[in-house]
Structure 1
Amino acid sequence: MFKTKNLSPQQLSAFTALILSVPISIGIWVLRPSWVIALVSFIVTFIGSYLMIRFVLESFIYRKIKLIYKFIYQTKASKREETYYKYILPQKGIDEVRADVEKWAEQRSAEIESLKKNEAYRKEFLQNLAHEFKTPIFAIQGYIDSLLDGAMENPELAKRFLENASRNVVRMVNLAEDLDEISRLESGEQPLYKQNFIIQELIKEVYETLSIKTSARNIRCSIKKGCEYPIAVFADKEKIRQVINNLLENAAKYGKQDGSIVASIYKTDGEHVLIEFSDDGIGIAEEHLPRIFERFYRTDRGRSRDGGGTGLGLAICKHIIEAHGQTMHVRSKVDVGTTIGFTLDARRD
C-alpha cells in the first residue's frame, strides 16, 4: 500500500505533480477527446509541475532544514558533510528530519544535565578541598600564635603545641600526596607494572602489617573458609596492596570492638577473580552508598576527620581498580556491616 508519511522531496514533488496532471489531462480530453493531446498535456503538466514543486521545496523549505542541521552540528561543514547536505539530506522525509532533530534535542538535554551535575560536583569538591586544607592550616596557625604569645616559656606546653602542629603538617602532606596520586591515576601518567601473584598471600601480608591496629580493638582477620586455595591474579601488586591496605584500614577503623574482617576470593568466569572484604561494623546508610567513592565524601564527617583520614582513600582505590580495567562495588547495612570488593584479571601465562 502506498504511504505518504515519509516521502522525500522528489517523491512528494512527483506525487503532487501527478495529482495536478491527471485532472488537467482529463479536462483537456473532455474538451478535445483526443488521447494524443490528453497524453501530451499529461506529460507536459507532470514534468512542469514536478520541476516547479521540487524547486520550491528544495530552495525554500529544505534550505531551511539544511540550516537547522548546520546549527545542530555547530561546526564548519567538511566536504563529507557538504555532500551529506547536498545529496543525502534531500532524500529524507520531513518526519525523518523531525526524528533527527528530536534525537539531537535529547542528546543536548542529556549533555546539559551532565554539565549541571559536573558543575555541582566541582563546587562541592572545591568546598571540601578548601575545608580539608583550612582545618590543619588554622590549627597550625593557632599553635604558632600561642607559642609566639608566650607559650615557648613553658617547655612542656611548647613541646605539646609543636607536636600537634607537626601532626597537622603531616596531615597536609598526606592530603597533597593523595591528591597528586589521584591526578596521576586520572591522567594515566602512573604506569601499572602487572605481574602474576597469589592474592591470598598479599592479603595475609597486609593483615600482618595492620596487626597492631586490629589487635588494639581485638578484631580478628581471616580468609573465608573454602577460599584458602591459592588463586593467582594478574595486576600491579603494589597498587593492589595499597587498595587492600586502604580497605582494611577502613574496616578496622569502623569495625566493632571484638569484631571480625573476612576476605573472600572467588574465580568468576575463568578470566576474572572477585576479591571481597566483609566486616561486622557500623555499616553505611543506603543513601550514602552511591557516593562513598567520591573524593572527600564522608558519611560521618566529624568521626572520619578525627580518625585522621584525608577522605581520599576510597577514591584512590576506585581509580587504581579502574586503571586495571575493573570495577569496585559495595554492599552495606547499618549496624550489620559492610562488604566491599573488586575484580581483577586472572593469572596470565
Structure 2
Amino acid sequence: MKLSVLVLITALAVGLSIGIVNFYFQHSWYYLLVSFGISFITSFLVFYYLFEKYIYTKIKLIYKLIHNLKLGKDLKEALGEYVSSDPINDVEQEVKEWAGAKKREIDLLKKQEQFRREFLSNVSHEFKTPLFAIQGYVETLQDCIVDDPDMAVKFLKKAANNVERLSYLINDLDAISKLETGEMPINYTKFDFVLLAKEVMENLEDRATSHKIKLSFKDKYTAPTFVSADREKIRQIMINLMQNSIKYGNENGSTAIKIFELHDQFLIEVTDDGIGIEEKHLPRLFERFYRIDSHRSRQEGGTGLGLAIVKHILEAHEQTISVRSTPNIGTTFAFTLQKSS
C-alpha cells in the first residue's frame, strides 16, 4: 500500500471521528462538515509528515540495504541508490527471501560441518591403521632381525606394503585437492573411447579372472567413439569403475561396458551383476572414504577415495555421473563425455 493511500485512510478515520463527535454535541450538519474538513486536512498533513520522516524513510533505507546487499554490493553502494517505489511491500518480500536464503545457508553450513567432522575422523582412521601396523612390524623386526632373518624379511615386506598403502592414500588426497582447486589441468584431446575401454579391459583381465568375473564389450557398442577429454584422466575413471565392479562382483558374474549416443555427448555405462547397493547409500556413494561394507573394502584394498576422484574428474570436465543399483541384482555407473567436433 502506498504512503499517500495509508495516510489518506488514517486522516479520513480521524476526520470522521471528530465530525461525528461534534455532531453529537452540536446537532448541526454544518459544524459536522466544518470539523470534518479541518480535522481531515490537518490530520492528513501531520500524518504525512510523521510517516514520511519517522517511518517511511526508515523503511526505504532498510529496503535499500537489504536489496543491494543481496546483490553483493558493499555498504556504501547499498546506501547510494534506491530501486523501488513501494518499499513497504517489497521489504516484506525481501526479508522473507533473505530469511529463506539464510536458513538454507545455515543448513548447508551444518551439513558441511558434519561432513568435515566425518572426513577428519575417516582420515585419522585411514592413516592410523597402516601406521600402527608399520610400528608393530618395525618393533618385531628389532627383536628378530638377528635370531630369525626369515621372519624379519617377512615382517619387512608387510611393513613395505603398509608404506605403499600410505603412499596411495596421500597421492589420492593430493589428487582430489588439486582437482578441487584447479591446480590439476584438464588436457583436452580427441581420442577414440572404444580403444581406451578395450585397453583398460585388457589391463584388468587377469584381476577379473582371479575373481571369476567376465568382462564384456558387445560389438554393437564398439563403433569408433571420438570424444574430447583428458585421455589419462578418463582412463583413471574407467579403471576405478571397473575395479569396483570386479571387487564387489559375484563369482561367475560379469561386467559390461555400453556406449549410447546422445545429442552432443556419449553416455558411458559400466554395469555389473554383483551384490548391488542399498538405496540409502546411493546419495553418499561419491563422498570421500564412504564405505558401504568397511570390512570387505579393507580386505579388498583401496583408499576409499576412488569414486570421489571419479566425480571430481568429471566435474572438472563439466560432465556428470550417476549410479543406479538394486541389491543382489547389480549396479550401473553412467557418465557423460563430450563428443569431439
TM range (shorter): 0.7 to 0.9
Q: Secondary structure at the match of 1:88?
A: coil
Superposed displacement of residue 148, structure 1: 1.7
Quick check: 1:12 aligned with 2:6?
yes
Matches within 5 A, 1:38-57: 42=37, 48-57=42-51
Q: What residue is the counterpart of 2:292 in the other structure?
A: 299
Q: Secondary structure at the match of 2:312?
A: helix
Report the AA paired with residue 330 of structure 2. G
Q: Secondary structure at the match of 1:153?
A: coil
Q: Tell me whether 225-234 or 236-245 shows the greater mean CA deviation.
A: 225-234
Report the AA paired with residue 232 of structure 2. E
Contact 2:255 2:270 survives alignment (8 Å): yes
Q: What residue is the counterpart of 1:135 in the other structure?
A: 129
Cα distance in 2 for partners of 1:168, 1:179 equals 17
| TM-score normalised by structure 2 residue count | 0.87
Please, which of 308, 319, 327 is the counterpart of residue 326 of structure 1?
Answer: 319
Report the AA paired with residue 335 of structure 1. N
Cα distance in 2 for partners of 1:77, 1:51 equals 34
Quick check: 1:310 aligned with 2:307?
no
Report the AA paired with residue 244 of structure 1. M
Contact 2:144 2:151 survives alignment (8 Å): no
Q: What residue is the counterpart of 2:188 in the other structure?
A: 194
Superposed displacement of residue 32, structure 1: 8.9
Q: Secondary structure at the match of 1:83?
A: coil
The one-character-per-residue Cα deviations of 1:120-167 (angstroms, maximum 9, x if unpaired) are: 110000000000000000000000111123354211110011100000
Q: 1:25 to 1:76 in 2, by over 3 A?
A: farther
Superposed displacement of residue 102, structure 1: 2.3
The one-character-per-residue Cα deviations of 1:190-222 (angstroms, maximum 9, x if unpaired) are: 111112211111100100111111122232212
Task: Calculate the aligned-residue CA RMSD, in Å.
Answer: 3.0
Q: What residue is the counterpart of 2:84 in the other structure?
A: 88
Report the AA paired with residue 92 of structure 1. P
Q: What residue is the counterpart of 1:278 in the other structure?
A: 271
Superposed displacement of residue 83, structure 1: 2.7
Contact 1:267 1:274 survives alignment (8 Å): yes
Cα distance in 2 for partners of 1:64, 1:148 equals 79
Q: Secondary structure at the match of 1:265?
A: strand
Cα distance in 1 for partners of 2:125, 2:314 equals 28
Q: What residue is the counterpart of 2:245 in the other structure?
A: 251
Q: What residue is the counterpart of 1:338 in the other structure?
A: 331
Superposed displacement of residue 226, structure 1: 2.4
Report the AA paired with residue 331 of structure 1. R
Contact 2:176 2:309 survives alignment (8 Å): yes
Sequence identity percentage:
44
The one-character-per-residue Cα deviations of 1:207-253 (angstroms, maximum 9, x if unpaired) are: 01111111222322122352222221111111100000110111111
> Please, which runs of 5 or more residues in structure 1 have no aligned partner?
1-6
The one-character-per-residue Cα deviations of 1:63-110 (angstroms, maximum 9, x if unpaired) are: 6646765589599622344433xx737x323x5433332222222111
> Please, which runs of 5 or more residues in structure 2 have no aligned partner?
none
Quick check: 1:237 aligned with 2:235?
no
Q: What residue is the counterpart of 2:112 in the other structure?
A: 118
Contact 1:136 1:171 survives alignment (8 Å): yes
Superposed displacement of residue 280, structure 1: 1.1
The one-character-per-residue Cα deviations of 1:307-331 (angstroms, maximum 9, x if unpaired) are: 1200000000000001111111111
Q: What residue is the counterpart of 2:147 in the other structure?
A: 153
Superposed displacement of residue 33, structure 1: 5.7
Quick check: 1:211 aligned with 2:209?
no
Q: What residue is the counterpart of 2:164 in the other structure?
A: 170
| TM-score normalised by structure 1 residue count | 0.86
Superposed displacement of residue 112, structure 1: 1.2
Report the AA paired with residue 297 of structure 1. Y
Contact 2:193 2:226 survives alignment (8 Å): yes
Cα distance in 1 for partners of 2:80, 2:48 equals 20
Cα distance in 2 for partners of 1:56, 1:8 equals 15
Q: What residue is the counterpart of 1:78 in the other structure?
A: 76
Contact 2:11 2:44 survives alignment (8 Å): yes
Report the AA paired with residue 124 of structure 1. E
Q: Secondary structure at the match of 1:332?
A: strand
Cα distance in 2 for partners of 1:63, 1:76 equals 21
Cα distance in 1 for partners of 2:175, 2:74 equals 40
Q: 1:63 to 1:145 in 2, by over 3 A?
A: farther
Please, which of 184, 192, 206 is the counterpart of residue 178 of structure 2?
Answer: 184
Q: 1:341 to 1:112 in 2, by over 3 A?
A: same
Q: 1:32 to 1:314 in 2, by over 3 A?
A: closer
Q: Tell me whether 147-156 or 238-247 shows the greater mean CA deviation.
A: 147-156
